[in-house]
Structure 1
Amino acid sequence: MTDIFAPKLTDNLLPYDGLVNDLGIVIDYPSPLFYNLVTELPWQEDIVTLFGKTHITTRQIVWMGDSDIDYQYSGHTRQTIPWTDTVFHVKHHIEQKLLDLGIDANFNSCLLNYYPSGEDGMGYHADDERELGEQPVIASLSLGATRKFVFKHKKTQDKVELYLESGQLIVMHGDTQSFWKHSITKTKKVTTGRISLTFRQIYPNNRS
Structure 2
Amino acid sequence: MDLFAEQGEWITINNGLIYWHPHFLSLQQAEHYYQQLNNELDWRQERIMMFGKSVLQPRLQTWLGDAAYTYSGLTMHPQPFTTSLMALKAQCEQVAQTPFNSVLGNLYRDGEDYMGWHQDNEPELGDQPVIASLSFGATRQFVFKHKTTKEKIAFQLTPGSLLIMAGDTQLYWQHALPKTKRVNEPRINLTFRFINQ
Which TM-score tier does this pair reach, normalised by the shorter chain? over 0.9
The one-character-per-residue Cα deviations of 1:2-39 (angstroms, maximum 9, x if unpaired) are: 9x64146324162x110011023222311121011112
The one-character-per-residue Cα deviations of 1:79-108 (angstroms, maximum 9, x if unpaired) are: 111101111111112212x1xxxx421100
Query: Aligned letter for 2:93?
Result: E
Residue of 58, 72, 79 corresponding to 2:70: 72
Q: Any idea what SS the aligned residue of 2:124 has?
A: helix
Residue of 85, 102, 117 corresponding to 1:109: 102
Partners of 1:46 and 1:150 lie apart in 2 by 24
TM-score normalised over the length of structure 1: 0.89
Q: After superposition, where does 1:84-99 map in structure 2 within 5 Å?
A: 84-96=82-94, 98=95
Q: Any idea what SS the aligned residue of 1:151 has?
A: strand
After alignment, is 193-202 or 25-34 more displaced?
Answer: 25-34
Q: After superposition, where does 1:11-30 map in structure 2 within 5 Å?
A: 11-12=10-11, 14=13, 16-28=14-26, 29-30=29-30
Identity of aligned residues (%): 42
Partners of 1:136 and 1:150 lie apart in 2 by 18
Residue of 111, 115, 118 corresponding to 1:118: 111
Q: After superposition, where does 1:38-77 map in structure 2 within 5 Å?
A: 38-66=38-66, 69-77=67-75
Deviation of 1:119 (Å): 1.0
Q: After superposition, where does 1:130-145 map in structure 2 within 5 Å?
A: 130-145=123-138
Residue of 163, 180, 183 corresponding to 1:190: 183
Q: Which residue of 2 aligns with 1:128?
A: 121
CA contact (8 A) 1:13 1:22 kept: no
Partners of 2:47 and 2:69 lie apart in 1 by 13
Residue of 135, 156, 162 corresponding to 2:155: 162
The one-character-per-residue Cα deviations of 1:37-69 (angstroms, maximum 9, x if unpaired) are: 112211000322112011112400010002xx0
Root-mean-square deviation (CA), in Å? 1.5
Q: Any idea what SS the aligned residue of 2:179 has?
A: coil
Partners of 2:105 and 2:191 lie apart in 1 by 6
Q: Any idea what SS the aligned residue of 2:149 has?
A: coil
The answer for unaligned runs of 5 or more in structure 2 is none
CA contact (8 A) 2:118 2:174 kept: yes
Partners of 2:64 and 2:8 lie apart in 1 by 28
TM-score normalised over the length of structure 2: 0.94
CA contact (8 A) 2:22 2:157 kept: no
